[in-house]
């Protein structure tokens, strides 16, 4: 759903504000793109009818709770509320930024939209680029999720609301739940059963759609669990879905091919799983880049986002993704919790005598534990000392890169170290960046990704589980592996590994090498960011095998897509000016 709002503080008339598709109640208007999970509860609390629309429900909630409504609603949402009597605007985004929301200030005006292109079009020409965001992209190190590639366009931060008036704007983070420790300790099996119930509920919520629904099936634990849960819900609960299908990218001939596990899921569920070949050559981001950002059509791990193409063919606008499973379920901080609670013997056993322990694995555990007890300033200093900035960055950009640092994750209290590290992963720049990138891409095709593992109720429950009830730390130990085991084929539930996609990335870059190298033979648009000769030498070194590592291959792709994108947006600017 398209969302657009504009307010001009220099005028008082109706022409001073514009909200597309707005719903007005008592001089309050809302423009929204929202899927609300607790709509029935809100309708009951606010004493409105069952057929009250989501936009009207948001206005009623604002009139009742003001900006506190953000903490009262659950789901994926981006909305802008204009309060005519107070001449105040409230914009908010869901806890994980599943629904995009961009804004721009300028000359006593503010604009909001869930489509970045709409804001670019409000400038007289192509807006100035954000140098930091470009450097983050080249290095693959994101420090500020609210930045876009355009200096004067920002995203409303995930889990935040922004209040704007004629006197300015202020942003506040509302999504930092306080978890009250429970004095009662249940057996782990009870936590597992409740996790499964909430997980099925999370999948159910995201399957509700007026059209066909697609589920991305990678062969890993997380996406496989979603597919199997959806099959159970459709079969046993009578859930009405016009059409349900799986979509799967496969890598024939590469060591990251997971067709064995995908086939195991296909045999378990009662709906078809359609695949596409992730190894095929796709240079769309080089020959026809999109405006929003470089590399928006292909993903760094090596393939394409072919699930969108299959969804379009099947008339679907919803794709379920397993992103968030690793962030929610990985076990970290368990040994630190044992030590913090005086359980030294158990801590030593976990450090030294765990199953399949050897010298290397013991050193790894001890190193991670030492890092967990180290003060933050020491870790930051260590990171800065280890930084090496590539010569292919220009001098000015190397200086900028030296200042990059990820933001602090809003803290939560009343939890164990296991839960605290889970929260940090969920709210990390990387997680928020991946969610945002996927849905910005999907929105170009009038689609959306939904993420069952990023369900508010599921996460709040997981954060309330005491560390003793989490699995013991180990390779690929996950909170949800045992909880969801009876939903899964044994090939998935007993799988203790993950695919590593470096070979897919290498395949993609090698197959696109002719297009990549051709970019160096014509006019150079990246001169502000990349030293052309150094970049060319680096790319040749990687393609010839002299420079190795997945980071190097990713950086080659980033250089190529940035150069192509810069040329593309310059052409877009010329077209807008009629040149």
Helices 550-576 and 131-139 meet at what angle, rounded to 10?
150
**E strands along 134-191, which residues?**
154-155, 160-165, 168-173
Buried b / exposed e across 348-380, counting CB within 10 Å, b at 16+? Answer: eebbeebeeeeeeeeeebeeebeebeeeeeeee
> What confidence category does residue 85 fall into, taking pLDDT thresholds of 50, 70 and 90?
very high
pLDDT score at 579: 37
- Looking at residues 82-87, what average pLDDT do you find? 93
Q: What is d(CA 529, CA 542) in angstroms, rounded to the nearest whole number?
A: 19
Residue 64 has pLDDT above 70, yes or no: yes
CA dist 65 and 230 (Å) reads: 35
79 close to 30: Cβ distance less than 8 angstroms: yes
What gap in Å lies between CA 323 and CA 229, rounded to an integer? 15
Examine the pLDDT at 567 and tell me if it is beyond 50. Answer: yes
Q: What pLDDT is stored for residue 353 in this prediction? A: 86
List, in order, residues 6 or more apart from 369 with CB less than 8 Å away: 335, 336, 351
Backbone phi and psi for residue 448, each to the nearest 5 degrees, phi listed first: -150, 145
Give the confidence band of 247 by pLDDT, cuts at 50, 70, 90: very high
Query: Can you tell me the distance from the alpha carbon of 488 to that of 505, in angstroms, rounded to the nearest whole number?
Result: 29
Q: What's the pLDDT at 144?
A: 87
Instruction: Give the position of tokens 């899921």.
Output: 265
pLDDT for residue 10 is more than 90: no
Q: Give how far the C-alpha of residue 433 lies from the chain's centroid of Cα atoms, to the nearest Å.
A: 5
**Phi, psi of 261, rounded to the nearest 5 degrees:** -75, -35
d(CA 446, CA 280): 25
Q: What is the pTM of this model?
A: 0.93
Q: What own/partner pairs with CB < 8 Å and gap ≥ 24 does 189-198 have? A: 191/465, 191/469, 191/483, 192/482, 192/483, 193/483, 194/461, 195/458, 195/461, 195/462, 195/465, 195/479, 195/480, 195/483, 195/484, 196/483, 196/484, 196/487, 198/455, 198/457, 198/458, 198/461
**Residue 312 and residue 447: Cα distance in Å, rounded?**
9
The whole-number average pLDDT for the span 342-359 is 89
| Rounded Cα gap, residues 535 and 286, in angstroms | 17
Q: What is the pLDDT of residue 418?
A: 93
User: Which of 92-96, 263-267, 351-355, 417-421 shows the lowest mean pLDDT across its residues?
Assistant: 351-355
The pLDDT of residue 301 is 55
Reported as a pLDDT band with limits 50, 70 and 90, residue 485 is very high
What is d(CA 425, CA 330) in angstroms, rounded to the nearest whole number? Answer: 9
Question: Tokens 């995930």 sit at which residue?
Answer: 158
| Averaged pLDDT, 59-87 | 95
**Tell me: the pLDDT tens digits for 272-300?**
999 999 888 788 888 888 899 998 777 55
Nearest to 282 by CA among 298, 295, 294: 298
pLDDT in tens, 111-163: 999 999 999 999 988 899 999 999 999 998 888 889 999 999 999 999 999 99
Q: Is the pLDDT of residue 459 over 50?
A: yes
- Alpha carbon distance 71, 80 (integer Å): 16
Mean pLDDT, the chain, whole residue set: 89
pLDDT digits (tens, 9 = 90+) for 204-238: 999 999 899 999 999 999 999 999 999 999 888 77
Give the model's pLDDT for residue 336: 93
Rounded distance between C-alpha atoms, residue 308 and residue 396, angstroms: 38
Kindly state the average pLDDT of the residues 81-85.
95
Determine the pLDDT at residue 386: 57
Strands 318-320 and 4-8: unpaired
For residue 304, give the DSSP letter. B
- The predicted pLDDT at position 578 comes to 41
Sheet holding 154-155, edge to edge: 17-19, 4-8, 109-113, 102-106, 154-155
What tokens appear for 279 in the block?
Answer: 């190894």
C-beta separation of 102 from 127 below 8 A: no
pLDDT reported for residue 577: 43
DSSP string, 32-54: EEEEETTHHHHHHHTT--TT--H
pLDDT of 555 over the 60 cut: yes
Q: Residue 563 burial by CB count (10 A; 0-12/13-18/19+): exposed, middle or buried?
A: buried
Q: Closest by alpha carbon to 98, among 463, 423, 464, 452?
A: 452
Reply yes or no on whether the pLDDT at 575 is more than 80. Answer: no
Give the pLDDT mean for 372-383: 68
Q: In which element (H, E) is residue 359 found? A: helix 359-373
Q: What's the pLDDT band for 572 if we cut at 50, 70, 90?
A: low
Cα–Cα distance measured from residue 276 to residue 282, given in angstroms and rounded to the nearest whole number: 12
- Band of pLDDT at residue 385, cut at 50, 70 and 90: low
| Percent of the chain predicted with pLDDT > 90 | 64
Which pLDDT tens digit goes with each residue over 16-35?
889 998 999 999 999 999 99
Q: Are strands 4-8 and 109-113 parallel, antiparallel or unpaired?
A: antiparallel
Q: What is the pLDDT of residue 486?
A: 94
User: What distance in Å separates the CA atoms of residue 79 and residue 77, rounded to the nearest whole number?
Assistant: 6
Confidence of residue 387 (pLDDT cuts 50, 70, 90): low
Q: Are 212 and 242 in contact (CB under 8 A)?
A: yes
pLDDT above 70 covers a percentage of the chain that reads 94
Highest averaged pLDDT of the listed ranges 320-329, 350-359, 400-409: 320-329
pLDDT of residue 181: 63
């Amino acid at each position: 759903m398209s969302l657009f709002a504009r307010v001009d503080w220099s005028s008082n008339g109706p022409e001073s504000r514009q909200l597309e598709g707005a719903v007005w109640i008592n001089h309050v208007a809302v423009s929204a793109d929202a899927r609300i999970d607790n709509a029935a509860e809100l309708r009951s609390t606010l004493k409105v009818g069952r057929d009250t629309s989501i936009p009207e429900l948001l206005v009623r909630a604002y009139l009742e709770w003001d900006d506190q409504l953000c903490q009262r609603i659950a789901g994926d949402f981006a909305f802008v509320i204009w309060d005519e009597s107070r001449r105040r605007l409230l914009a908010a985004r869901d806890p994980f930024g599943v629904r995009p929301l961009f804004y721009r200030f300028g000359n006593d005006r503010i604009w909001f939209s869930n489509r970045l292109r709409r804001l670019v079009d409000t400038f007289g020409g192509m807006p100035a680029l954000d140098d930091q965001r470009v450097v983050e992209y080249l290095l693959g190190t994101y420090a500020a999720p609210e930045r876009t590639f355009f200096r004067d366009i920002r995203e409303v931060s995930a889990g935040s609301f922004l209040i704007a008036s004629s006197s300015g704007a202020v942003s506040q983070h509302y999504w930092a739940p306080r978890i009250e420790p429970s004095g009662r300790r249940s057996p782990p099996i009870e936590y597992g059963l409740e996790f499964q119930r909430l997980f099925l509920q999370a999948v159910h919520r995201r399957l509700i759609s007026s059209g066909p629904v697609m589920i991305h099936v990678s062969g890993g634990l997380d996406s496989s669990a979603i597919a199997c849960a959806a099959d159970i819900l459709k079969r046993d609960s009578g859930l009405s879905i016009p059409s349900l299908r799986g979509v799967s990218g496969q890598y024939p001939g590469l060591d990251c091919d997971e067709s064995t596990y995908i086939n195991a899921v296909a045999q378990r569920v009662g709906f078809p799983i359609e695949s596409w070949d992730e190894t095929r050559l796709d240079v769309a981001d080089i020959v026809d880049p999109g405006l929003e950002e470089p590399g928006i059509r292909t993903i760094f791990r090596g393939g394409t986002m072919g699930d969108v193409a299959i969804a379009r063919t099947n008339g679907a606008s919803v794709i379920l993704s397993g992103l968030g499973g690793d962030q929610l379920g990985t076990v970290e901080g368990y040994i630190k919790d044992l030590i913090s609670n005086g359980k030294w013997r158990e801590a030593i056993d976990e450090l030294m005598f765990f199953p399949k322990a050897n010298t290397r694995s013991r050193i790894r555990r001890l190193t991670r534990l030492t890092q967990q007890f180290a003060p933050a300033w020491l870790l930051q200093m260590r990171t800065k000392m280890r930084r090496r900035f590539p010569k292919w960055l220009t001098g000015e950009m190397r200086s900028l890169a030296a200042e990059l640092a990820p933001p602090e994750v809003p803290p939560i209290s009343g939890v164990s170290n296991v839960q605290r590290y889970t929260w940090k992963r969920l709210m990390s720049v990387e997680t928020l960046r991946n969610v945002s990138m996927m849905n910005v891409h999907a929105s170009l095709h009038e689609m959306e990704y939904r993420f069952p593992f990023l369900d508010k109720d599921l996460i709040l429950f997981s954060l309330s589980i005491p560390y003793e009830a989490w699995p013991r730390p180990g390779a690929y130990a996950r909170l949800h592996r045992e909880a969801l085991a009876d939903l899964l084929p044994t090939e998935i539930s007993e799988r203790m590994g993950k695919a590593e996609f470096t070979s897919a990335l290498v395949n993609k870059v090698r197959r696109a090498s002719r297009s990549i190298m051709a970019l160096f033979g014509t006019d150079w648009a990246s001169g502000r960011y990349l030293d052309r000769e150094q970049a060319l030498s680096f790319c040749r070194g990687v393609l010839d095998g002299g420079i190795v590592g997945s980071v190097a291959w990713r950086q080659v792709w980033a250089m190529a897509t940035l150069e192509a994108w810069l040329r593309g947006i310059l052409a877009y600017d010329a077209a807008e000016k009629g040149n």
